[in-house]
């Protein structure tokens, strides 16, 4: 059983269409696929149609929400929330607006460095994406030959310590945990101890406090966690009775070293997560999106 619960399409900053993602997951032998584009559900229906058509792949629909906690950025994976919940819809809109509105400021800073990128180029490279993000600016820098890769663009220009970095609106983590619960979904913190995030607030005590605020699990097996971080997070998840997931964070060709199913989630952990999602939607009185596809 291969379970990969965190992937992206070109509706955010991945490169595959939602239908192509499902097809590739099928070819990679994945049984359960989580679709979790950044701050948008735009890819959901196309992916669900593809999962029903393709068979074999069961699709768990989710969103990776950009939040902030104790002054640091935290990515929150929200699985199976009702996408029509008004509070959740409004918060996602604010996050997407924040992304779009920072583009001019980033381009202005690049211009001051003598690198002229037109907003229209970024828009063209973003294609069907719900919001223009830094990865699309990175693509424009690659196209210009300023850098060789998205990674280099982030290190040299766009990352928090880069000269073209611009802060933006992020949802409050605790508030977002409440919204996901109210929308009948379940929450898992994505790559809590990835290097670029300040994880001091996400230690055992922090995770325990977040569990009280509605957190269901943590993503343990992720490319941005080394062996020691994975071992310690597994131990903490067990101690705090949090679901432990593992995922690729696949972005198509938009991110190297994140191949589909390079990490996966244990079946019993998925079962727990889906049971919690069932209970959450029943308690919230919301109609949750169903897990679709698969031969079973």
Please identify, using beta-carbon distances, which residue of 95 and 146 lies nearer to Zn ion. Answer: 95
Please identify, using beta-carbon distances, which residue of 31 and 64 lies nearer to Zn ion. Answer: 64
Are the C-beta atoms of 82 and 186 separated by less than 8 Å?
Answer: no
- Name which position in 24, 61, 75, 99 contacts Zn ion (CB under 5 A): 75
Of 120, 115, 163, 161, which Cα lies nearest the Cα of 142? 115
286 near Zn ion, rule: CB under 5 A: no
Q: 78: helix, coil or strand?
A: strand
> How far is it, in rounded angstroms, from Cα 250 to Cα 157?
23
CA angle 55, 220, 29 (to 5 degrees): 20
Question: Binding to Zn ion (CB under 5 A): which residues in 131-190?
Answer: 190
Q: Which positions from 182 to 221 touch Zn ion by CB under 5 A, shown as an x/- string? A: --------x-------------------------------
> How far is it, in rounded angstroms, from Cα 243 to Cα 220?
9
Q: Shortest approach of Zn ion to residue 6 CB, angstroms?
A: 6
Q: Shortest approach of Zn ion to residue 64 CB, angstroms?
A: 5
- The stretch among 84-92, 112-120, 198-206, 241-249 that binds Zn ion (CB under 5 A) is 241-249
Q: Shortest approach of Zn ion to residue 15 CB, angstroms?
A: 13
Q: 74: helix, coil or strand?
A: strand
| For the chain, the helix, strand and coil percentages under 3-state DSSP, each to the nearest 5 | 45, 20, 40
- Name which position in 13, 31, 39, 249 contacts Zn ion (CB under 5 A): 249
Q: Shortest approach of Zn ion to residue 257 CB, angstroms?
A: 13
> How far is it, in rounded angstroms, from Cα 212 to Cα 99?
30
Please identify, using beta-carbon distances, which residue of 46 and 249 lies nearer to Zn ion. Answer: 249
Q: Shortest approach of Zn ion to residue 111 CB, angstroms?
A: 28
4 near Zn ion, rule: CB under 5 A: no
| Three-state secondary structure string covering 254-278 | CCCCCCCCCCCCCHHHHHHHHHHHH
- The stretch among 67-75, 147-155, 180-188, 216-224 that binds Zn ion (CB under 5 A) is 67-75
Are the C-beta atoms of 192 and 219 separated by less than 8 Å?
Answer: yes
Residue count at the site for Zn ion (CB under 5 A)?
A: 4
Query: Rule CB under 5 A: which residues touch Zn ion?
Result: 64, 75, 190, 249
């Amino acid at each position: 059983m291969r379970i990969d619960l965190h992937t992206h399409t070109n509706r955010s900053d991945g490169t595959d269409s939602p239908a192509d993602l499902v097809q590739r997951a099928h070819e990679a032998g994945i049984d359960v696929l989580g679709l979790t584009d950044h701050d948008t559900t735009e890819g959901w229906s196309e992916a669900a149609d593809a999962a029903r058509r393709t068979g074999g792949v069961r699709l768990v629909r989710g969103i990776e929400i950009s939040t902030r906690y104790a002054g640091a950025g935290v990515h929150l994976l929200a699985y199976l929330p009702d996408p029509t919940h008004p509070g959740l819809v409004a918060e996602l809109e604010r996050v997407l607006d924040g992304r779009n509105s920072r583009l001019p400021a980033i381009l202005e800073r690049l211009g001051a460095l003598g690198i002229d990128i037109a907003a229209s180029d970024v828009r063209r490279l973003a294609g069907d994406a719900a919001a223009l993000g830094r990865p699309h600016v990175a693509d424009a820098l690659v196209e210009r030959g300023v850098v060789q890769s998205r990674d280099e663009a982030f290190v040299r220009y766009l990352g928090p310590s880069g000269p073209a970095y611009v802060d933006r609106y992020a949802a409050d983590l605790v508030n977002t945990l409440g919204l996901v619960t109210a929308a009948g979904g379940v929450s898992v913190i994505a790559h809590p101890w990835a290097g670029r995030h300040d994880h001091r607030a996400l230690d055992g005590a922090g995770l325990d406090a977040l569990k009280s605020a509605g957190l269901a699990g943590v993503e343990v097996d992720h490319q941005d966690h080394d062996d020691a971080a994975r071992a310690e997070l597994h131990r903490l998840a067990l101690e705090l009775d949090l679901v432990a997931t593992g995922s690729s964070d696949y972005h198509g060709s938009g991110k190297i070293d994140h191949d589909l199913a390079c990490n996966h989630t244990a079946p019993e952990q998925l079962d727990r997560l889906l049971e919690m999602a069932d209970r959450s939607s029943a308690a919230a009185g919301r109609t949750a999106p169903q897990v679709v596809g698969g031969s079973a």
